[in-house]
Structure 1
Amino acid sequence: MSATSAIPVHEGDDELIIVREFRAPRSLVFRAWSDAEMLPRWFCPEGCDLPFQRFDPRVGGTYRVCMRGKESGTEWWVQGEFLEIVPDERIVFTHVWDDVAR
C-alpha cells in the first residue's frame, strides 16, 4: 500500500478532511483502518507501538488508543467516535488527543 497523492483540505476551525489515494484494493485499505490487528502495523512511526484500550469500528462505536515510544515509554493518548462507516469506501471518525504526553 503506497499513497499516490495526499490532499489535505481545511474546512473551518473544527474539521479537517484528508483524501488519500492508494495503489491497493479498497477492501485492503478499509481493513488497514478498521482492523485492530492491522492498524498498528502501519499507523505508528518507527520506534512506537499502538496499544488499544478500546476499538469498536462501527457507527456509534468508540476507540481509545495510545501511541507509545518503545524506548522512552512516552504515551500519547487519543480517542474518538466512529460517525460513518461505508464498507470498502469510507470511515468518518472524530480524533481528540488527550491534553499532555506522559
Structure 2
Amino acid sequence: MTSALPAMTSRVENEKELVLERTFSAPRALVFEAFTTAEHLRQWWGPRGWDITHCTVDLRPGGRWHYCMTCMDQEQGDFYGMESWGLAVYDEIEAPERLVYTDYFSDAGGEVNAEMPSSQTTLTFEEVGEGTRVISRSVYGTEGALKTVMDMGMLQGVTQTWDRLAEHLAAQGG
C-alpha cells in the first residue's frame, strides 16, 4: 500500500527554507509517535546503511533529542564506521499536529557544533484520508547554510530516511 503513495517532494522557498512533503499510510498519532519516541526513531532514522547507536528523547519544550547515526554498511567505503551526531531542542509540541525544534549538528556530549549549519524546523502532521501528510519546513540562517547541507547530500539522506519510516510504519500495522 505504501508504494501507491507519492514519493517525497522538496522545494526551496525564500532561498533559505527547505520544504519537504510526503504522505504516509498510517494514522497521524502513530506517525507523530514515530518522530517523537526513541523506541521508534531507533528503527528508522537515518539513511540506508546507517543505524542509530545512541538516542535519547526528552519530549517537552526545552527538552532535547540527542542521537548518533553510525554507518554500518561496508559498501559505503570511507563512510563505514563514521558517526554523525545530532541534537534537536524542542520549542513547541502540539501532539499530534505539530512539532517545532531547532536542529543542530553536535558531538557525543550534546555540545552544538557551531561550525555547522543549524535550522529551525517545523513539522506538521495532517490527516489525509487514512494516511498522514508530513510537511517539514527547515529555515536556515543563510542561503549558504542551506547550500552546505544540500551539498552534503541532505535530499538523498532524507529521501532514504523517510522511505525507512514508511517501511517502519507498515511493519507497525500503519
Pairing of 1:39-58 with structure 2 (within 5 A): 39-52=41-54, 54-58=56-60
Q: Which AA in structure 2 matches 1:65?
A: Y
Identity of paired residues, percent? Answer: 35
TM-score by length of 1: 0.75
TM-score by length of 2: 0.48
Q: Note closer, same or farther for the CA distance 1:16–1:59 as it changes in structure 2 (3 Å cut).
A: farther
Q: Note closer, same or farther for the CA distance 1:28–1:4 as it changes in structure 2 (3 Å cut).
A: farther
For 2:29 and 2:55, how far apart are their aligned partners in 1?
25
- Tell me if structure 1 keeps the 8 A contact 2:42–2:55: no
For 1:11 and 1:57, how far apart are their aligned partners in 2?
29
- Tell me if structure 2 keeps the 8 A contact 1:4–1:23: no
For 1:39 and 1:64, how far apart are their aligned partners in 2?
11
Instruction: Give 3-state SS (helix, strand or coil) of 1:95's partner.
Output: strand
- Tell me if structure 2 keeps the 8 A contact 1:80–1:96: yes
- Tell me if structure 1 keeps the 8 A contact 2:6–2:23: yes
Higher helix share: 2
Q: Note the aligned Cα RMSD (angstroms).
A: 2.6
Q: Which AA in structure 1 matches 2:62?
A: G
For 1:42 and 1:74, how far apart are their aligned partners in 2?
18
Moved more, 57-66 or 9-18: 9-18
Instruction: Give 3-state SS (helix, strand or coil) of 2:46's partner.
Output: coil
Computing the radius of gyration from Cα coordinates, the structure with the larger value is 2
Task: Specify which of 56, 65, 75 is matched with residue 67 of structure 2.
Answer: 65
5+ residue gaps, structure 2: 75-79, 107-114, 117-174
- Tell me if structure 1 keeps the 8 A contact 2:38–2:55: no
The one of the two structures with greater contact order (alpha-carbon pairs below 8 A, sep at least 6) is 2
- Tell me if structure 1 keeps the 8 A contact 2:54–2:69: no
| Alignment partner, residue 96 of structure 2 | 88
Higher strand share: 1
- The alignment of Structure 1 onto Structure 2 pairs a total of residues equal to 100
